[in-house]
Amino acid sequence: MRKQQKGFSLIELLIVVAIILIIAAIAIPNLMRARMAANDSSAAASERTIVTGEIGYFAAYPTVGYAANLAALGGAAPCTPAVATGCLIDNNLATNGTPAGSGKSGYSFLATPVIPAGNTLPIEFYTQAVPLSAQTGTKSFCATDDGVVRTNVPGNLGAAGSYAGCQAFLPMAN
């Protein structure tokens, strides 16, 4: 007489592990693409937020012009509005992630005021969002004081680098 077998045999366990690995091999690339698409959407929305913050800053401080940098649009809670802390955007975006400079949703952000010839105040600005790596985003974004969010061609992760460079990007199809 044989003893009653309890549990699973080694072959049965190996088959289950192999099936799980096959499913994971199919699912992980799809999850990564979905995450990159979410990062791209978050970056475009953050660009819109920065533009709105810059316009609000210009309206609040017309003698200063646009904000000197991205940090001037934010402020740590509890935030008190001032020239150095506009309290207009989330401080996580204003400080470009935590720790500082590590980015937000896989992107690095920058806002730069522009002083056109013949002016003493920055009456123009551009902002840009660049993926931290090719695994965190598929394209870079930028916007200027006209409020139009623009995007580089997919696959090109290069930054706008200037006001004119941003103007050369394609307007985002909303």
Q: Which carries the bigger pLDDT value, residue 100 or residue 172?
A: 172
Q: What is the pLDDT of residue 99?
A: 60
Average pLDDT of the residues of the chain: 89
Helix (H) or strand (E) holding 38: helix 10-60
pLDDT per residue as tens digits for the range 29-70 = 888 889 999 999 999 999 999 999 999 999 999 999 999 999
Residue 14: its H or E element: helix 10-60
Cα 75 off chain centre by? 19
| DSSP for 118-162, written as a single string | T-SS--EEEEEEEESSTTT-S--EEEETT--EEEPPTT------S
- Residue 104 pLDDT grade (very low, low, confident, very high; cuts 50, 70, 90): confident
Task: Provide mean pLDDT across the span 75-95.
Answer: 89
**Between 91 and 102, where is the model more confident?**
91
CB 146 within 8 A of CB 101: no
Local confidence band at 9 (pLDDT 50, 70, 90 cut-offs): confident
For residue 76, pLDDT beyond 90: no
Beta bridge partners of 125: 113
